[in-house]
Structure formats: C-alpha cells, structure tokens
Amino acid sequence: MSEDRLLHQIDSPADLRRLPKEQVERVADEIRHEILERVSQTGGHLASSLGAVELITAIHYVFETPQDRLILDVGHQGYPHKMLTGRREGFEGIGQAEGISKFLRRSESEFDHFGAGHAGTSISAALGMARAKHHKGEPGCTIALIGDGSITAGMAFEALNHAGHLQEKNLVVVLNDNEMSIDPNVGALSSYLSRKMSAPATRRIKGWAKELLESMPGDMLHWARKAEESLKVFFSPGLLFEALGFRYVGPIQGHRMDVVLETFENVKEMLAQGSGPILVHALTEKGHGYEPAERDPLKYHGVTQFDVGTGQFAPKKPGPPAYTSVFADTLIRLAREDERIVGITAAMAPGTGLDRFQKEFPDRFYDVAIAEQHAVTFAAGLATEGMKPVAAIYSTFLQRAYDQVVHDVCLQNLDVTFALDRAGLVGADGATHQGLYDIAYLRTLPNAVVMAPKDENELQHMLETAITYPGPAAIRFPRGGGVGVPMDPEIKAIPLGEAELLRDGDDVLIVALGTMVHPALEAAVELATQGISAAVLNARFVKPLDQARLLPLAERCAAVVTVEEHTVGGGFGGAVLEALSTAGLSVKSRCLGVPDALIEHGESTATLGLDAPGIAASVAELLRSGARSSEV
C-alpha cells in the first residue's frame, strides 16, 4: 500500500477536518481503495460500505464528531467510519477473536455512539440523543444515516413521526437511497434545486417573500405555499417527509463530493437557524467504484476472500450441503405437493434460501421487506384462511416480532411454521447476530412446538413435521454446511415429541439437542475409553419433551447432562431439569450450553467447551464430583 496516502495521516475526524476541502474527495477515493484491499483479504461487508463512502466522509468533515453524534443504521456500511476513527489497522482482524467488530460497538470507540446489527434503529436512537442534549443543554446535533432498505422497518417511521411531532431542531436524517430509480435529468435538476433551496441566500429571499405576501390582501401566502409544495412534488419525492414534519432536502447525488459537502454545510447552517428536523435524501449506488460490486451488489454484500482484479472469490472447499439449501430444497418439494404452502421472508430471500422458492412459486412467495412483525401477523392471517405459511426468519431477527408470535400466532393456535436459520453461534457476525435466545423465548408459549435437527437429513423430516402439525411450530437450524449424512429419498413426519436413543449406557445420560448431538456421540466414545458408559439421547424436540424415553433413562443413570448450542438460561437444559423435578427424580445433573454473557465474534463451540472434548471433560468432572443437586 502506498505510504503517501492522505488516509494514513488520519487517526480521527479532527485530522480530516484540518485538510482543505478540495482534498476530501481524494480521501474518499483512498478509503474506497483501502476497503477493497482489506476486505478482499479478510472478508466482510463490501458493497454497502463502498456505497456510503462519500456520505460518511462528508459528515465527519462538516460536522463536529464526536460532539455531533453520528448513528449508522445496521452498521454494515460502517467501514469508512471505522477507517476515519482510528481503526484502519484493525481491519486485519475484523470479525476475528480479539479483533474489531464488523458492526459498530459503543465499547469499541467513542465515535460509535450506538451499536446495531439489526435494521431500523438509527432514527429512534438519534432522536433520543438529540432530546438528551436538549435536556442537558449540551451543544451538538445528531445525524442518523439510514438506508432505503432499513427505512422499511416500522420503527423507522414511528421515529420519523415522533421527531416531526416534537419538531426536534437538532436532528438530521440522511436517507442513503441506493434503489430508487429517478431519471438522470430530473435527478440532476432536483439535486440542483434542493441545494440552492437550502442555501442561505435562498432562505433569506423566501423570508422576504413571506413578509411581502403576508402584507398583501387575500390569502396569498397560502397559495404561494401550495405552489412551492407542488414544485417539490414534481421534482422530488419529499412530500411524505414534509408531511411528517421534516424539512426535506434532495434528492442529491450521493457520490458527488462537492454536492454532498455543499448540502451538509447548508444543512449545518439550517440547524444553527433552528430549522430542524431535516431529512437529506441522497442517491447512491451499492458497490460504487468497484465494477463487480456495482453489477451484483447482493453477491458482494457480505464477502469472503476475493481477487480485487478479477472479482473472483476464493474457491470453496467441497462439503455437505448447507442447512439453508436443504431447507429450501425440501420446502420446494413439499410445496409441489401442497398448494397451500407459501413462503415468507423479511428482506432475506437469498439468506434464507427462499429466492429459490420464489423462482418456482412466484405467486406463493412474499418478501415483506424489513418488517418481521408484519411478516408474522401476515402469516397468521394466511393461516386463518387455511393456508400453510412458512416464515423463514433468522433466529436473531425473529426476536423483533416476539409479541406477534405470542399474541397473533400462539394464542390463536394458528398453523404457522417458523424456520429459524442461523440458530446458534454465527462466527464473525458476533453479538448482534448470535441465534442464542430462541428456545428461551419460544418454549414457554402455549401451543408451540419447538424442534432442532441433529443433521441435514433430519431437517427435511422436521420441516414435514412442522408443516403437518396444525399449529405453531418452529425449527431451529444453524448456518453453514451440514454433517454430511446420506439424505433419505422419502420425507416423513416425525411422531410429535419423539426423541431418538442413539447410544445406550448406564453411567450417564447425555441429552443433546440439534447441532450438539454428533459432538455428544463423539464424547461418548471418548468417555468409553475412560470406562464411563454414556447413553446419548437425541431430543429432537424442546417442546414437547419425550418424557417416556427421558425419565426411565434418567432414573437408571447416575447423572444427566444436557447439551445445547443456546444460552443456558431458560434453554433446553432448563426444560429437562423441570421435567425431572416434576417427576420427583433427584439425579446428579449439569446443563452445558452458552454462558449468560454476550458472545462476541470469533467464539466457537470449541472455545465454549461445547465440542466433543469439552463435553467429555464436563461429564467426567461431574461424575467425579460428589454433588447430587442440579448444576448449570
């Protein structure tokens, strides 16, 4: 890398602001090139970050961060922000243990004012910060940078509505719009008008015109405002935001650094004049500046290692099919046989595999955008009319629709299937995306069935089980490749609640769930070399539990150990202990799972003691101990 880069002289936005304005565009170009160099080696979020380079650079140049708060929605476009705030060298370990996060983290930098990995939070947080500054009498404004995809989240509009109602004068929302199609000529003219209409001289002229019109007979001011509003509607899509109480500026060309800088400078002066809240509408392009990402921004959204010159990714090692692919293939097979089956996703069609379902059944596929709450209640509505909706939502994202799962699905006992992809640990994505809480928030709900497959073959049978069951059913399965077992040609429903005894034993019963079943079997083999006879029960179901198999085995063995890739608190192990307690069984026991702590990026089942050696060691230690009370 060239050592004469301006970027290498910047350790904070204060360094950036010391540069003359004409050099800011060069800094942005250098950021884009450095992101490509770094991410091509480490992997990470590429297209979104490339598309936001000019906006983020200009915000840090014009506004007084960190006194002025910058809140990035989701945070996957935050690499330029990290580059400008002292973390450029940290990209060598991004997403790895002890390395910087792929998202923003308050604990990582004073410039990360709000952490997020889920969409739609930025405007609410920014409004809260602005009001806090107001109450404390502190200087500075707050800027929320939100994408056109994220603004489809319901809470984003709730926040816009509240901010407009409050007429918060220290709030700026920057809408990073990389999808809207506007004719170039109209866009250029609208951009020109918006910049000029936000300029100081123009605002003064409008003030004089207002005074003149107020002095004239009749309601001339009213009709002048109507005419101005008509012009805005004709040249820009700002009517909605103006109706919500915002001053609308845009659309502007988000990759023209001169345009972006001038606009933000005008907006800063507007804030000083008390003109907030303001919404700046910037048109950008995902992957801007790198042709392969411009052509296919979805492919280059989250990347592994790739060659910058060709855009080619490093070849993947051959292996078993991914759980996501098995889910998609199975759903398509079942949908061919049952026209009532429909697929629902919340802006994650490729991530959940439903893009393949969409190609085969376009009329039975629904992408509701980033609106998990709506997705769940929409599914409930479909179910009331006899359809069989399958809502494919990541475990971490279904958290956002918990009330809908309770109130709209489970309390009415509606036939909705939830396919919870990315359940368990998610590696580099870290704390915001870990799927570690779904068992705890689902197993207490009336009418709900909760299950987890031990491998990809069992997943296909569980999907049939869930769809056949005439009520709410959830299947949790991990990201990544399967175990590599043969796939049964015929798909059959599993009897509801039936566990599977995979290995018999007399000394200890290991009750394993989902991804932990095969490591538990390996641990049992290791324990046998130590003279310990371990039975391994594949629970399959969190709810209902197979007490007919569980209780006799627990009564016969000296100890019971549960294993799950989920937080221990409120998890599967707790359900087993509750069953033992209700049956009056007093047995030495331990629950193995994820500890009650935020699990950062880079953690794995091995580091948490949930691989075969870790399970074997925990079982042996429990049997050596004298305690008979339940342990976690």
Residue 128 neighbours by CB under 8 Å, 6+ apart: none
From the list 361, 398, 404, 400, the residue with the least C-alpha distance to 381 is: 404
Structure tokens at 116: 């997020």
Structure tokens at 166: 């409050």
The SS3 of residue 338 is: coil
Q: Which of 38, 105, 364, 400 is catalytic?
A: 400
8 A C-beta contact, residue 248 and residue 164: no
The SS3 of residue 229 is: helix
Catalytic annotation present for 388: no
Catalytic annotation present for 196: no
Residue 309 neighbours by CB under 8 Å, 6+ apart: none
Complete edge-to-edge strand list for the sheet that includes strand 534-538? 500-503, 534-538, 508-512, 559-567, 588-594, 630-631
Q: Residue written as tokens 């109450």?
A: 135
Catalytic annotation present for 247: no
Q: Which of 38, 87, 247, 286 is catalytic?
A: 286
Q: Which of 54, 168, 372, 603 is catalytic?
A: 372
What's the rounded Cα separation, in Å, for the pair 407 and 386? 19
Rounded to whole angstroms, what are the CA distances from 183 to 52, 55, 187, 189, 295?
A: 21, 21, 6, 10, 19
From the list 620, 503, 498, 611, the residue with the least C-alpha distance to 559 is: 620
Complete edge-to-edge strand list for the sheet that includes strand 247-253? 69-72, 142-147, 171-177, 278-283, 247-253
Catalytic site positions: 286, 372, 400
